[in-house]
Amino acid sequence: MTPLHLATRHPSQKALALLLKHIGPGEVDTQDKNKQTALHWSAFYNRPEHVRLLIKHDSNIGIPDSEGKIPLHWAAHSQEQSATQTVRCILEAAPTESLLNWQDYEGRTPLHFAVADGNEAVVEVLTSYGGCNVTAYDNLFRTPLHWAALLGHAKIVHLLLERNTSGTIPSDSQGATPLHYGAQSNNAETVGVFLSHPSVKDEPDLEGRTAFMWAAGKGSDDVIRTMLALTPHIDINMADKYGGTGELLRNRGGN
């Protein structure tokens, strides 16, 4: 690491500004052992003014670190509401689809991380850009919607559904939709958000199991009650391709 990296730790810009006056060409993007530049550090520490200053001095916002993350990943990977300022500083410099949807070496976009942290404000900012892909798959074939459903972030689920312009609900490599994920986690509020949206139907996975069947198999009683209330005509005797019904799956613990 360099003094430039260390200067990003402090709220004041004075040290950073002074160092920037005395660096040579290209030194603004010197990388540490993790291949991170001072801009990565500024994004991680949520220093929007530092980010703005570094970009003004031609810091490259598209340099991936050792994990494949660009500064926008680190800016979005924060639980602080003020992280929206840092995210905006980066996107104002280059509001491109490539930047918005940049995938790290595990296939995760900045939106995946904002969703994982439950930061609704950052999710709002990222998805406000038309080029943001809300159904981008990571290397495990999970979209931000899958993550939000699994973690029970109901408000974020609603926001992503509204911003999903594809008109389709994504499924993972096993055919499981975000609704399946919410059902198995017993996130009744999240499941309620899904079922209240016109684009969502309880489609079966590759084994012929619906989200209702997943809920039964996991003993997700809150979800079962919610699904029965919101979908009164649900077929509780529907069988998967092995002949198992929701009741059988419940008795067998989902196996």
Contact in structure between 205 and 174 (CB atoms under 8 Å)? yes
* Res 245: pLDDT: 63
Report the CATH number that the domain containing residue 235 is assigned in CATH. Answer: 1.25.40.20
Give the per-residue pLDDT at 8. 86
Residue 105 located in a structural domain: yes
Are 15 and 82 in the same domain? yes
Q: Could you give the CA distance from residue 148 to residue 181 in angstroms, rounded to a whole number? A: 9
31 and 127 both lie in a single domain: yes
CA distance 74 to 66: 13
| Residue 39 belongs to some domain of the structure | yes
Euclidean distance between CA atoms 79 and 83, whole angstroms: 8
Whether residue 128 sits in one domain with residue 51:
yes
Split into its structural domains, the chain has a count of: 2
Asked if residue 148 belongs to a domain, the reply is no
For residue 145, being part of any structural domain is answered with no
pTM of the predicted model as reported, rounded to 2 decimal places: 0.89
**Residues 113, 192: one domain?**
no
Nearest to 153 by CA among 110, 123, 198, 108: 123
Structural domain ending residue among the three candidates 75, 99, 133: 133
Same domain, 19 and 90: yes
Q: How many CB atoms lie within 10 A of CB 1?
A: 13
Is residue 227 one of the residues assigned to a domain?
yes
Q: Take residue 140 and report the two structure tokens written for it.
A: 């495990």
In tens digits, the chain (255 residues) has pLDDT values of 888 789 888 888 878 887 888 888 888 998 999 999 999 999 999 999 999 999 999 999 999 999 999 999 999 998 888 899 999 999 999 888 999 999 999 999 999 999 999 999 999 999 999 889 999 999 999 999 999 999 999 999 999 999 998 878 899 999 999 999 999 999 999 999 999 998 899 999 999 999 998 998 888 889 999 999 998 788 888 877 767 665 544 554 444
Q: Is 39 exposed, middle or buried (0-12, 13-18, 19+ CB in 10 A)?
A: buried
The verdict on 20 and 90 lying in the same domain is yes
Q: Which residues contact residue 223 at a Cβ distance below 8 angstroms, ignoring those fewer than 6 apart?
A: 182, 183, 186, 187, 188, 191, 215
Q: Can you tell me the distance from the alpha carbon of 109 to that of 201, in angstroms, rounded to the nearest whole number?
A: 26
- For residues 37 and 49, give the distance between their C-alpha atoms in angstroms, rounded to a whole number: 16
Structural domain of 19: 1-133
For residue 15, give the 3-state DSSP assignment.
Answer: helix
Residue 120 and residue 219 in one domain: no
- Same structural domain for residues 13 and 127? yes
68 and 182 fall within a common domain: no
Dihedral (CA of 204, 209, 213, 218) sign: negative
Q: What is the pLDDT of residue 41?
A: 95
- Same domain, residue pair 62 and 121: yes
Same domain (yes/no): 13, 113? yes
Look at residue 138 and tell me if it is in a domain. no
Task: Check residue 254 and give its pLDDT.
Answer: 47
Residue 151 lies in a domain: no
Residues 124 and 160 both lie in one domain: no
Domain membership flag for residue 190: yes
pLDDT of residue 150: 95
**How many whole angstroms separate alpha carbon 26 and alpha carbon 137?**
34
